[in-house]
């Protein structure tokens, strides 16, 4: 059976050109970039090129502002703990985050909370957008960091980050953004956004897993997370993952070049899908902002059915989607993002994220539109909640 992959916010396949760029660094050019001899120099040069490619993609003014990490999670941990630990005892211990952050931000803050830091969660509206007044009100003298994600991984909503940047700058507070889902998908410039720290991850943009980057604005001093050798100008120890770094560089270059074309393609496919779903299926809600959203991301709640049952059923039909974020699918918690935008838990449990990628076609969307209604109907036919609802409808109670 042909499979249709619609889970690109979880991860993406490595772009063939990215893979081709990486391969030489496993065998022929396998040197340790810290080595003085020729193998080392070859590796060092490859890293230099990649660093410029990443800097280009996000508009950093110098490649020295980019450090390579093992992924988005490490970048988030590094930015937040690095700031917290370097500022603690000096300026203060208060951190402000949005309530829809990825667990890499949220759980890091929770950990810090246990160790004496104070964390304020902002509010969001029904689309998942933070309120700037609420942010201003939350700021204290002891606030050392604001962390607001650029685009949400579950519902795709894009934050008014440039406005947050202005407030942070005015108040002299560091601003971190988890841009793992927006980098490479929508135009983004660290200066326009006014961020001091920005996390990104290669495997969301057709690069390899296990490699990411943290942008650290020149002059921003934060503690290291990994201590050891003098790698990355003493900011991140560990033998550089050369093939990974080369892959992230190449993926960044391609993302920049193809961004406009991909955006249009993805927007038109998702709009078609959204319209089709809302036409074909009853009791469905779209989650996230209808316009201020990532071009590839849709999120729906199908009432009276449970999400895992729905995605398993779709998987049997060759359609790969996910419930909320992939990281929580092993757990039974309803998504904290859907809770934050006000979805009642029983409806949140029936939510599905559909995230498209560059290779998806209109044909595939047509297949989804043909398949999805019958899959939902099959599950509703065994749902006691649906039965009750239909009974009420028949009794004229609704």
Should residue 212 be labelled a site residue for ligand PLP when binding is judged by CB under 6 A? yes
Q: Pick from a copy of itself, ligand PLP, another protein, none: which does 7 bind, CB < 5 to 8 A by kind?
A: a copy of itself
Separation CA 379–CA 299 (nearest Å): 19
Nearer residue to a copy of itself within complex by CB, 220 or 328:
328
187 C-beta neighbours (distance < 10 Å), count: 13
221: exposed, middle or buried (C-beta count within 10 Å: 0-12, 13-18, 19+)?
Answer: exposed
Choose the binding region for ligand PLP from 71-79, 254-262, 302-310, 352-360 (rule: CB under 6 A): 71-79
Return the residues of window 233-252 that contact another protein according to CB under 8 A: 233-235
Nearer residue to a copy of itself within complex by CB, 278 or 361:
361
Nearest to 26 by CA among 13, 43, 1: 43
Choosing from 4, 84, 130, 149, the residue that interacts with ligand PLP (CB under 6 A) is 149
Return the residues of window 295-354 that contact another protein according to CB under 8 A: 304-309, 312-313, 316, 330-334, 344-346, 349
Binding-residue total with another protein (CB under 8 A): 42
Q: Rounded to the nearest 10 degrees, how much is the dihedral formed by the CA atoms of 225, 227, 230, 234? A: 30
Give catalytic status of residue 109 as yes or no.
no
SS3 124: strand
SS3 content of the chain, % helix, strand, coil (to 5): 45, 15, 40
Determine phi and psi for 148, rounding to 5 degrees. Answer: -130, 125
- Beta strands 66-69 and 212-216 are antiparallel
CB 55 within 8 A of CB 66: yes
Separation CA 361–CA 357 (nearest Å): 9
Nearer residue to ligand PLP within complex by CB, 76 or 364:
76
Over the window 281 to 310, marking each residue x when it contacts ligand PLP by CB under 6 A and - when it does not, the resulting string is ------------------------------
Q: Pick from another protein, ligand PLP, a copy of itself, none: which does 382 bind, CB < 5 to 8 A by kind?
A: another protein
Separation CA 290–CA 305 (nearest Å): 23
* Whole-number Cα distances in Å, 281 to 64, 88, 274, 367, 390: 51, 52, 11, 15, 15
Q: How far is the CB of 41 from a copy of itself (least distance, A)?
A: 9
Nearer residue to another protein within complex by CB, 261 or 382:
382
Nearer residue to a copy of itself within complex by CB, 85 or 339:
85
Q: How far is the CB of 309 from another protein (least distance, A)?
A: 5
Return the residues of window 222-251 that contact ligand PLP according to CB under 6 A: 238-239
- Residue among 167, 327, 339, 390 flagged as catalytic: 327
Determine phi and psi for 244, rounding to 5 degrees. Answer: -60, -45
Return the residues of window 197-236 that contact another protein according to CB under 8 A: 221, 223-224, 230, 233-235
Separation CA 398–CA 391 (nearest Å): 10
Choose the binding region for another protein from 41-49, 73-81, 155-163, 197-205 (rule: CB under 8 A): 41-49
Separation CA 107–CA 80 (nearest Å): 11
SS3 309: helix
Return the residues of window 63-102 that contact another protein according to CB under 8 A: 63-64
Choose the binding region for ligand PLP from 47-55, 65-73, 187-195, 356-364 (rule: CB under 6 A): 65-73
Nearer residue to a copy of itself within complex by CB, 33 or 188:
33
Determine phi and psi for 206, rounding to 5 degrees. Answer: 70, 20
- Which residue carries 């080595």 as its tokens? 35
Structure tokens at 302: 């199908």
Provide the binding-site residues for ligand PLP, judged by CB under 6 A.
71-73, 76, 102, 104, 149, 153, 178, 180-181, 201, 203, 212, 238-239
> Binding residues for another protein, per CB under 8 A?
41, 44-45, 47-48, 51-52, 62-64, 221, 223-224, 230, 233-235, 304-309, 312-313, 316, 330-334, 344-346, 349, 381-387
- Name the residues annotated as catalytic: 327
């Amino acid at each position: 059976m042909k499979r249709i992959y619609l889970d690109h916010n979880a991860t993406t396949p490595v772009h063939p050109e990215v893979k081709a760029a990486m391969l030489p660094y496993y065998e022929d050019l396998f040197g340790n970039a810290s080595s003085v001899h020729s193998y080392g120099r070859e590796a060092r040069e490859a890293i230099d090129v990649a660093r410029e490619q990443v800097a280009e993609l996000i508009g950093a003014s110098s490649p020295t502002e980019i450090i390579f990490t093992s992924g988005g999670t490490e970048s988030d941990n590094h930015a937040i703990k690095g700031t917290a630990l370097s500022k603690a005892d000096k300026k203060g211990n208060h951190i402000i985050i949005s309530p829809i952050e990825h667990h890499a931000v949220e759980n890091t803050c929770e950990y810090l909370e246990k160790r004496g830091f104070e964390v304020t969660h902002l509010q969001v509206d029904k689309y998942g957008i933070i309120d700037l007044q609420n942010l201003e009100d939350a700021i204290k003298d002891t606030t050392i960091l604001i962390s607001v994600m650029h685009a949400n991984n579950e519902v795709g909503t894009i934050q008014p980050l440039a406005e947050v940047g202005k407030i942070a700058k005015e108040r002299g507070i560091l601003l971190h953004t988890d841009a793992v889902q927006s980098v490479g998908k929508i135009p983004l410039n660290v200066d326009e956004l006014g961020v001091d720290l920005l996390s990104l991850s290669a495997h969301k943009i057709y690069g390899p897993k296990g490699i990411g980057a943290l942008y650290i604005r020149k002059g921003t001093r934060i503690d290291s997370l990994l201590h050891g050798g003098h790698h990355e100008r003493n900011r991140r120890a560990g033998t550089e993952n050369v093939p990974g770094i080369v892959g992230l560089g190449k993926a960044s270059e391609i993302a920049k070049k193809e961004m406009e074309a991909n955006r249009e393609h993805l927007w038109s496919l998702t709009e078609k899908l959204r319209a089709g779903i809302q036409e074909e299926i009853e009791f469905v809600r779209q989650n996230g902002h209808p316009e201020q959203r990532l071009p590839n991301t849709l999120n729906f709640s199908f009432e009276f059915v449970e999400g895992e049952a729905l995605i398993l059923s779709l998987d049997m039909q060759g359609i790969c989607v996910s419930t909320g974020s992939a990281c929580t699918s092993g757990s039974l918690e309803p998504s904290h993002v859907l809770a934050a935008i006000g979805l009642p838990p029983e409806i949140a449990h029936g939510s599905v994220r559909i995230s498209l990628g560059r290779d998806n076609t209109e044909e595939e969307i047509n297949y989804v539109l043909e398949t999805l209604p019958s899959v939902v109907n099959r599950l509703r036919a065994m749902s006691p909640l649906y039965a009750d609802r239909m009974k009420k409808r028949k009794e004229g109670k609704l």
